[in-house]
Chain A
């Protein structure tokens, strides 16, 4: 389902937090200013995406990658972002690698467990289904009465 850009605002709580951390203590931000910043941030995402996508298309790629985004930042005259972004990317990559290993290990453990439990659970399910069918056959009228009472 396609969502229109207007529906996809970034969470207010997060935007507020980023603003507060950027500004010195004692400074407040009006609701209108916060809304405007949030909307500007959404426009920024769209603008950056479009610029990055141009680089991807020039390179005849269908998938946007990190390099495209960095190139877009330069194009948009946000060179000051490049260094902190590259640093953050390094940390992110390491984190993803670490997480991948953990989830793969978990998956392996799960598979081992699942194999032994599969047979047991299938038997239980079949028993439950049989019982339900019996109940339905025996008491259709009672169910109808209950629904009338509720409504």
Chain B
């Protein structure tokens, strides 16, 4: 019977769709519970939190967990990494600006970043040079190219 065969299909589609949606909602819920009063009518992780952390802690935590050696991270540690990342973005933008200004440009370009990364010691990890404990981050280079 066509009717009985078709009946289950919409249900399956719904559950398949629910999967990823639930994950996103889960992340958002986790985020919202962490930052209840800061989000007033926001739509999701893209909305910055002006008070404490601009970056969504749920996303930072998810990123941290991709490291197989990391089992648990305290909320505070996730927050500090988020904050440090903010400072890092500010720092690299400002350092790259120097090169743009040298080229008499008002628009920051990719090459300004490359120059900054090459010139500044602290950004060596972005070039894939091993840090003091001999961990090689060139594995992550595909990100930057």
Partner of B77, one of A8, A14, A66, A81: A66
Which one of A87-95, A107-115, A128-136 contacts B? A87-95
Of the candidates B48, B51, B137, the one whose C-beta lies within 8 Å of that of A47 is B137
Are A92 and B107 closer than 8 Å at their CB atoms? Answer: no
CB within 8 Å of B: which residues of A? 1-6, 8, 10-15, 17-19, 21-23, 26-30, 32-33, 36-37, 39-54, 57, 62-66, 68-70, 73, 75-78, 80-81, 84-85, 88-89, 91-93, 95-96, 99, 103, 144-145, 147-148, 151
Q: Which residues, 86 to 140 on B, are CB-close (under 8 Å) to A? A: 86-94, 96-97, 100, 106-110, 112-113, 117, 121-123, 125-126, 131-133, 135, 137, 140
Asked whether B71 lies within 8 Å of A62 as measured between CB atoms, the reply is: yes
- Number of residue pairs across A and B with beta carbons under 8 Å? 228
A109–chain B nearest beta-carbon distance, Å: 15
> In the complex, A21 Cα to B122 Cα: how many Å?
22
Question: Assuming A18-B89, A40-B113, is B66 touching A8 (CB within 8 A)?
Answer: yes
A-B CB proximity, top 9 nearest: A22-B90, A64-B73, A63-B72, A66-B76, A144-B3, A39-B143, A32-B110, A28-B107, A11-B46
Interface size class of B (residues with CB under 8 A): 35 or more
When distances are taken between beta carbons in the complex, the residues of chain A under 8 Å from B67 are 46, 49-50, 53
Question: A30-B108, A39-B143 are contacts. A85–B71 as well, Cβ < 8 Å?
Answer: no
Q: How far is the CB of B99 from chain A (nearest CB, A)?
A: 11
CB within 8 Å of A: which residues of B?
Answer: 1-4, 6-7, 23, 36-37, 45-48, 51-56, 59-60, 62-64, 66-67, 69-77, 79-81, 83-94, 96-97, 100, 106-110, 112-113, 117, 121-123, 125-126, 131-133, 135, 137, 140, 142-144
Whether A33 and B112, one on each chain, are in contact in the complex, defined by CB atoms closer than 8 angstroms, is yes
How far is it, in angstroms, between the C-alpha of A76 and the C-alpha of B122 when the chains are bound? 7
Provided the pairs A10-B59, A27-B97 are in contact, do residues A48 and B84 lie with their beta carbons within 8 angstroms?
yes
Q: Given the known A-B contacts A47-B137, A63-B73, are A40 and B3 also in contact in the complex, defined by CB atoms under 8 Å?
A: no
B36, B66, B85, B110: the one within 8 Å of A44 (CB): B85
In the complex, chain B residues whose CB is within 8 Å of the CB of A76 = 122, 125, 131
